[in-house]
Amino acid sequence: MADQDETVSKSDKLKENSKLIDSVPELDDTEPPKVIISNPPTMSIKITSNKLQKSEENKDLEDCQIIIPKTEIIDITDDTGDKETCDEVKKVFSEHDIQEELLIVTPKEESKEPETEVISEDDEMAVNTMPVDTEAVSEDELPPTTLADQTESVSDDELPSENGTGKTKRCSKVLDEQTKEDENELQPEKKLKTEEVKPLTEFDKFWQAVKDDPSDFAGWTYLLQYVDQENNVQNAREAYNKFLELYPYCYGYWRKFADFEKRNNNKDECEIVFQRGLKAIPLSVDLWIHYMTYLKSQHADDIDLIRDKFEKGLETCGLEYRSDRLWDHYIKWEIDQNKLLNAFNIYNRLLATQTLGYLQHFDNFKEFVNKNAPDKFLSVKEYLELRQKVAEGLRMSGSDELLTDDSAPPGEEENTFLSDVSEKELSLLKETIVEMKYKIHKETSKEILKRQAFEEGIKRPYFHVKPLEKCQIENWKDYIALEKEAGDHQRIVVLYERCLIPCALYEEFWLSYLDYLESLDFDASDLINDLFTRACLVHHRKSPELHLKWSTFEESKGNVDKAADILKNLDEAVPHMLQIIYRRINLEKRRDLFEKVCELYEYYINTSHTKFLTSNIAIKYARFLWKCANKIEKAIEVITEIINKDKDNMQDNARLLLQLIELKMSVKPLNEKSVIQIFDDILSMSSVNLEQKILFSQRKLEFIEDYTCDYTSLRKATNEFKCYTELLAREKKKALAAADEEKSKIEKEIKAKQTQDMAVPSSSQVAPTNYQPYNTAGYYPQQYTGYNQATYQQYAPTGQDYSYQYQNWSYPQANYNQTWGSYNYSSNGGSGGY
């Protein structure tokens, strides 16, 4: 029965709803119909208001019931306004899979069911229920809406015909156009999101890390490892070049960079990388060996080129203590070329060189001599002289033996090697060669033993950003001192260059090296200039001392423009440094560019970030204008302007006031009233403390007495000085009284605390008698007695003197005694230091 009643109720509601639709007023022919749509994102129509409103023109609908389907419905009414049109519209929406229950809404049941809105007769009604997941809001929370915002104009052509044939098509057309407009609005938003969100590549991530912190050495290693695996030539070159610009002493990455170019068949670029690396770190034995290996594989036929590069390598880093492998490579290559004479000559140089493997080198040399005939690796002259020496040892005439072969044509010395040599003589020849070189080897060993302890103390001969241990730094200093005592310039230079690789970030070694080069009695300008370039442009870009030293060196060589550029770059790297500012200004002054000097002074005064810096530069500028440019009025104007800007803080800038007084007193002719007025202005400043006012009033009194004849002004100045002095004495007295009061207060607090603490151990003495039965082992009384003694000893006796030093309450004379000297009022005048 309930189901039947519910069915009947729904049927009645549908009938009433159709009646309500039939009662909607028709559209006039003069006014186009309107479609009420409330911003549907995808053909959905949202309710802009849930409250049933009353129409002024249709008040009879106040108690009516409106049946609204909980679906997306657009009600379009034309001139005919017949019921058939509404049925067709409903049919259109049913084709869009709109299948939901109908809701009955009454204006009186607002709390139970959604409210509806009644629209006037001149406007069309379009209603839509809220989506299921939409949050319900109250009437007050909804934004105000107007009918104009909810309606859309439709042309006459889009209206349905009388017979109803084109009505559904036109309704669908309206919906399709609205859907397209919504899609077009969403498309630009999608495009913007796509353009804004660009995923970062791994290369960009690694790059960003080192851009944020260029000193992040680990970040650079990750970046270089990535580009090496990625094998992108452009990215790899960019990363390697930037890294090696910052850390040129990392020979391993020069080698990796060259291998990368070689792997990508860029032979020319590979050789350029090798050349750049060897110029940046010429003492890198590993890089030289790698380069020579590359040349032997790529230019195997160019013997002269390879030999020249080997010689260049030995000349550059042959004195390096760990250069053994480069020597061995060179000797082996000459032996492979069957140039035994060249190999023997290289051995001669190697045995006289202090290297780590000096013992192994001598063994290799003996093996080389014993393995080859002397005439193969000795020159003709050396061989003949050696045979003659051996023959004399055997009491034989070397010349008679050599001339036994009558077929030997005169003048062809090489044929003398064809003469027969006995095995004994050959053995003696080889022994003599080894013995001669052993003497050189022995001398080399002695020199190595002097330096072996220092060489063993070098634990890190390569570059790294990590700091060195203090013992290694001291080891380098002692080693350099030893070489300086030996006096071998070439070895000193090599040792300094070796030291600068692991100690590149230590400024003191660069300065020590420069001092040595500048102390030489011959010109080492090229080496000094190269050293300054490496130090200031690579490793110590913000070192004032190195840059100032470089600027001085360039100026001494006549390169004033370069010196000025060096100071300018340093000023940009390390701004607001007084020493750099003065050096830059004074350089322009020596060039007689007074306009440039004034421009720099004014620039630094306007851009200085501290009052101390401003006052110092302003005083320097005023003295320049006064002494060098003869513009004392301009100097007074500069100082006065600075003082006026900071009148409230003159206690920290008293030097400006003193400079102003000095300038005023130096004006010719002297204007006494102007000087006295300056004194009065200073004494009237609230920021000048009492002690400073006493000094300025004393200075004023001295000036009036020395330079004027006005007794009234003198008496007034005397009374003023006396007044300030008495005022200071009263303040000191008050301060001393306050100090004494504070001292007595502290003493009373300490005595009260002592009395309170002394009462604690006295009361605790009763404890042992109460716990006497537990004293069988003697534990509790001993422990408790010790506690009482410790407690008692923590506090001093009652009569102890708790003294506090209050001598600092006196007011010092600040820095004015140093500036003015001692201005004694009873003195006989004088200029007071001016």
Write down the residue that tokens 């007295």 correspond to.
Answer: 733
CA distances from 376 to 234, 341, 379, 430 (A): 52, 7, 8, 12
Q: Which residues pair with 36 in a beta bridge?
A: 151
CA 515, CA 810: separation in Å to the nearest integer?
A: 49
Least confident range of 149-158, 236-245, 510-519, 747-756? 149-158
Least confident range of 329-333, 597-601, 772-776? 772-776
Structure confidence at residue 822 (pLDDT)? 38
The average confidence (pLDDT) of the chain is 74
Least confident range of 177-181, 629-633, 749-753? 177-181
Structure confidence at residue 755 (pLDDT)? 84
Ranges of each domain in the chain: 684-748
Q: Compute the average pLDDT of residues 473-492.
A: 95
Which pLDDT tens digit goes with each residue over 450-470? 999 999 999 999 999 999 999
Whether the CB-CB separation of 736 and 797 falls below 8 Å is answered with: no
- Model confidence at 303: pLDDT above 90: yes
The dihedrals phi and psi of 67, each to the nearest 5 degrees, come to -95, 120
Q: In 3D, which of 643, 641, 601, 607 has the Cα closest to residue 620?
A: 601
Structure confidence at residue 687 (pLDDT)? 86
Higher pLDDT pick, 407 / 355: 355
Whether residue 114 is preceded by a cis peptide bond, meaning omega within 30 degrees of 0, is: no
Q: Which residues pair with 72 in a beta bridge?
A: 128
Q: What single string gives the DSSP state of each residue in 428-489?
A: HHHHHHHHHHHHHHHHHHHHHHHHHHHHHT----S--SSPPPHHHHHHHHHHHHHHHHHT-H
Structure tokens at 415: 């044929």
Q: In 3D, which of 516, 496, 507 has the Cα closest to residue 548?
A: 507
Strands 151-153 and 102-105: unpaired
Counting residues of the chain whose pLDDT is more than 70, the rounded percentage is 64
Structure confidence at residue 198 (pLDDT)? 64
Whether the CB-CB separation of 188 and 215 falls below 8 Å is answered with: no
Higher pLDDT pick, 127 / 386: 386
Structure confidence at residue 63 (pLDDT)? 42
Structure tokens at 412: 């062809």
Structure confidence at residue 165 (pLDDT)? 43
- Tally the C-alpha atoms within 13 A of residue 659's C-alpha that lie toward its C-beta: 27
Segment of 159-168, 175-184, 361-370 carrying the highest mean pLDDT: 361-370
CB neighbours (10 Å) of residue 444? 19
Contacts of 417 (CB under 8 A, 6+ apart): 375, 380, 383
pLDDT tier, 96 (very low <50, low <70, confident <90, very high otherwise): very low
Structure confidence at residue 418 (pLDDT)? 41
pLDDT tier, 176 (very low <50, low <70, confident <90, very high otherwise): low
CA 413, CA 655: separation in Å to the nearest integer?
A: 92
Amino acid at 92: V
CA 532, CA 513: separation in Å to the nearest integer?
A: 10
- Tally the C-alpha atoms within 13 A of residue 719's C-alpha that lie toward its C-beta: 6
pLDDT tier, 287 (very low <50, low <70, confident <90, very high otherwise): very high
CA 49, CA 38: separation in Å to the nearest integer?
A: 10
CA distances from 584 to 141, 573, 595 (A): 69, 14, 14
Write down the H helix ranges in 197-323.
Answer: 202-212, 217-230, 233-246, 251-263, 267-280, 285-298, 303-317
Q: Does the predicted model carry a pTM greater than 0.85?
A: no
Structure confidence at residue 740 (pLDDT)? 86
For 339-382, the three-class secondary structure string (H helix, E strand, C coil) is CHHHHHHHHHHHHCCCCCCHHHHHHHHHHHHHHCCHHHHCCHHH
Segment of 106-115, 393-402, 809-818 carrying the highest mean pLDDT: 393-402
Strands 151-153 and 34-36: antiparallel
Structure tokens at 497: 């260059």
Q: Compute the average pLDDT of residues 544-549.
A: 96
pLDDT tier, 625 (very low <50, low <70, confident <90, very high otherwise): very high
Q: Compute the average pLDDT of residues 128-156.
A: 43
Whether the CB-CB separation of 30 and 36 falls below 8 Å is answered with: no
Higher pLDDT pick, 372 / 105: 372
Structure tokens at 333: 């290559």
Whether the CB-CB separation of 77 and 85 falls below 8 Å is answered with: yes
- Model confidence at 695: pLDDT above 70: yes
Structure confidence at residue 710 (pLDDT)? 85
Whether the CB-CB separation of 759 and 795 falls below 8 Å is answered with: no
Which pLDDT tens digit goes with each residue over 697-745? 999 999 999 988 888 889 999 999 999 999 989 888 888 888 888 888 8
Structure confidence at residue 752 (pLDDT)? 86
- Model confidence at 159: pLDDT above 80: no
Amino acid at 462: Y
pLDDT tier, 518 (very low <50, low <70, confident <90, very high otherwise): very high
Q: In 3D, which of 415, 426, 327 has the Cα closest to residue 369?
A: 426
Structure confidence at residue 803 (pLDDT)? 37
Structure confidence at residue 754 (pLDDT)? 84
Whether the CB-CB separation of 74 and 158 falls below 8 Å is answered with: no
Structure confidence at residue 640 (pLDDT)? 93
Which pLDDT tens digit goes with each residue over 7-55? 444 445 444 444 444 443 333 444 444 444 444 444 443 444 343 344 4
- Model confidence at 197: pLDDT above 50: yes
CA 480, CA 486: separation in Å to the nearest integer?
A: 10
Structure confidence at residue 245 (pLDDT)? 93
- Model confidence at 553: pLDDT above 60: yes
3-state secondary structure of 572: helix
- Model confidence at 97: pLDDT above 50: no
Q: Which residues pair with 67 in a beta bridge?
A: 104
Q: Compute the average pLDDT of residues 264-272.
A: 93
Q: What single string gives the DSSP state of each residue in 295-339?
A: HHHH-TT-HHHHHHHHHHHHHHHTTSTT-HHHHHHHHHHHHHTT-
